[in-house]
């Protein structure tokens, strides 16, 4: 159980490193490679879905469900899945926006690749976390 958890997150982390490398992340400096690995670890452990879950959910949305309508779908699970998908797409947008906002000359330390994306990802993640705490949920916990 614990080993499956660790291996799934390690696989996800490696996929993030590969995605960043294919997208043009610098691999010449050790510091940049370490930053990419650290950012990949952060994403692997804090994203609402893993990349394999995202892939299967997007395939289901595009191709349709595999059950052919035979199995009763759980509406609560669908709502939770769509919420996670929206959060995931917002966080991916924050990563991309952070990369686009970064200047291409990378002359100063705060202009280097992962930093702006990490900052924007953290801000959006915090906003999503605090926006999910509605007053109704707080009142339920008090009672």
DSSP 10-66: HHHHHHHHHHHHHTT---SSHHHHHHHHHHHHHHHHHSSS-HHHHHHHHHHHHH--T
Model pTM score: 0.72
SS3 content of the chain, % helix, strand, coil (to 5): 75, 0, 25
| Domains held by the chain: number | 1
Residue 60 domain boundaries = 2-142
Q: Determine the pLDDT at residue 114.
A: 80
Distance CA 102, CA 56 (A): 31
* Spans in the chain with pLDDT lower than 70: 65-74, 76-77, 102-111, 133-143
Q: Determine the pLDDT at residue 138.
A: 45
What percent of the chain is modeled with pLDDT above 90?
Answer: 14
């Amino acid at each position: 159980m614990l080993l499956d958890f660790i291996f799934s997150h390690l696989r996800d982390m490696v996929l993030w490193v590969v995605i960043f490398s294919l997208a043009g992340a610098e691999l010449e400096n050790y510091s940049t490679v370490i930053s990419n690995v650290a950012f990949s670890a952060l994403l692997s452990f804090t994203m609402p879905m893993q990349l394999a879950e995202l892939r299967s959910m997007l395939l289901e949305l595009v191709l349709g469900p595999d059950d052919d309508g035979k199995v009763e779908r759980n509406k609560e699970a669908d709502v939770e899945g769509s919420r996670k998908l929206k959060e995931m797409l917002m966080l991916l947008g924050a990563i991309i926006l952070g990369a686009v906002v970064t200047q291409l000359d990378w002359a100063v330390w705060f202009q280097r690749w992962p930093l702006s994306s990490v900052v924007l990802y953290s801000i959006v993640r915090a906003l999503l976390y605090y926006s999910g705490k509605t007053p109704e949920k707080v009142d339920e916990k008090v009672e």
